[in-house]
Structure 1
Amino acid sequence: METSKAKEYRNKLYTELAKIGKCLSSARRLELLELLIQCEKTVEKLATETQMTIANTSRHLQVLFKAGLVKRRKQGNFVVYSLVSPQVAELASSLKQVGVVRLEKMQADLAKKTGSLTITLKQAKQQDHALFLDVRPTDEYQAGHIEGALNIPFEQLEEHLSFLPQDREIIVYCRGKLCTYADLATGLLHAKGYEAYSLNYSYYDWVTEKSKLKWLR
């Protein structure tokens, strides 16, 4: 029979887990975690990329901080946030996998609208001569990227098309299944005459396919 101390411990454990679950019940906070998987970022950078106000971004980050999912440090006049552990990245990735059927339907609809062609992670890893195009912001690319990948942030792509070869397949990737930029960029390249494919997986997915617990940094 369960002792009172054991029951008290179990209740405390589930209470703490519930706090994490409640923390993750916000689309905005999930988006912030997805960005922090890429690399550490300042509050201002996160606000810009999520199109939230700095005040609202700070409130969401405070909730994540209190739940023990992110940490922060001062860098001059800025506050820089990052994930506390590889397990947080795995948690966010697992949440995406839970909703994979719904996500795939949404991505199929987007691919149809943009005219983009897709490629699987397995197929992409078998390509020997394709050019990998990373359309994430430069700070995320510098924190880690597929070996040999060229970085052109999505918002700069159209004005830098001359950097891309016309005689090679181009595989475009961004932040994974929750990011639309890979499909949008692939659609743009296809319209401009390039043979391009959208890889709806992130660099995190790429490096953790065989070692799920590997931390990027």
Structure 2
Amino acid sequence: MKTEVKRTFKNRLYEQFARLGKALSNGHRIELLEVLAQGEHSVETLAQETGLPVANASQHLQVLRAAQLVEVRREGVYIYYRLADERVFRLWQTMREVGEAHLAEIDRLVQTYLQDRRHLEPISAVELLARLAKDEVILLDVRPAPEYAAGHLPEAHSIPLAELETRLGELSPTKEIVAYCRGPYCVFADEAVALLRANGYQARRLEEGLPDWRALGFPIERRIGGDNENH
């Protein structure tokens, strides 16, 4: 291959990879990917979950779609988005791990805004899997109900955070409860554990979220027609 041809090839090739970096160069778009890692969502739901106006959320989703990171489905007047495949979540997961390892500001932000987390006695996915096999804990999914239906940890009970206080009577007061949500920066589980402990329950939070659990190759279940289906 001639030098000038090789250079043209390299320039064009790496410019295509740079499209991914450009699509991920906005914090809102990264948060949208984290929510989509839970399952398919409408534009309206994504806007609500990320605190964005619908028009802004739609614009960010179009950028992600142009980079082939998300796919779209239309149903009547509604538009639904999902991740293109599991590798998109792994891309965000790798960014997260590199950022945690090399950007001190990330650690400072976590320490500032999640300073109470160290008291919540986190449990790892590996330990949780072992304890579930021994029937030692109650597993609580505190994400919104549609995300639970799209995929959840085995044997998990769905009680969205907003409903937890009024549904405490559904939980055993004598068995330890492990709450989980979307991922390591999601605070639903933190708030759930704080609420449970304030009401006399034994409670801990799972370090990982559902997408991280799935990426480890651990089983998940989906709600199909009212029944759970294993994967």
Q: Same fold (TM over 0.5)?
A: yes
Query: Corresponding residue for 2:95?
Result: 95
For residues 93-133 of structure 1, give each alpha carbon's deviation from its aligned partner in whole angstroms, at most 9, with x where no partner exists: 11122233566665566252695231122222221220110
RMSD: 2.3
Would you say 1:169 and 2:169 are equivalent positions?
no
Indicate if the aligned counterparts of 2:117 and 2:190 stay in contact, CA closer than 8 A: no
Amino acid at match of 2:26: S
Q: Tell me the equivalent position of 1:124.
A: 128
The runs of 5 or more residues in structure 1 that have no matched partner are none
Indicate how the Cα distance of structure 1 residues 107 and 165 shifts in structure 2: closer, same or farther if over 3 A, else same. Answer: farther
Contact 2:23–2:63, Cα closer than 8 Å, also in 1: yes
Task: Name the counterpart of 2:13.
Answer: 13
Q: CA deviation at 1:35?
A: 0.7
> Displaced runs of 4+ in structure 1, greater than 4 A?
101-109
Is the partner of 2:37 in helix, strand or coil? helix
Give the aligned length: 213
TM-score normalised by length of structure 1: 0.89
For 2:152, what is the secondary structure of its paired residue?
coil
- Classify 1:153/1:195 alpha carbon distance in 2 versus 1 (closer, same or farther; 3 Å): same
TM superposition shift of 1:68: 1.3
Q: Distance between the aligned counterparts of 2:99 and 2:149, measured in 1?
A: 29
In the other structure, the counterpart of 1:142 is: 149
Q: Is the 8 A contact 1:117 1:186 kept in 2?
A: no
Larger RCO, structure (CA 8 Å, separation 6 or more): 1
8 A Cα contact 2:40 2:80, kept in partner: yes
**Aligned mates of 2:58, 2:146 — CA distance in 1:** 20
Query: Is 1:186 paired with 2:193?
Result: yes
Task: Report the CA distance between 1:173 and its aligned residue.
Answer: 0.5
Give the equivalent residue in structure 2 for 1:203: 210
Equivalent-residue separation in structure 2 for 1:117 and 1:108 (angstroms)? 15
1:54 paired residue number: 54
Greater Cα shift, 99-108 or 130-139: 99-108
Residue 222 of structure 2 corresponds to none
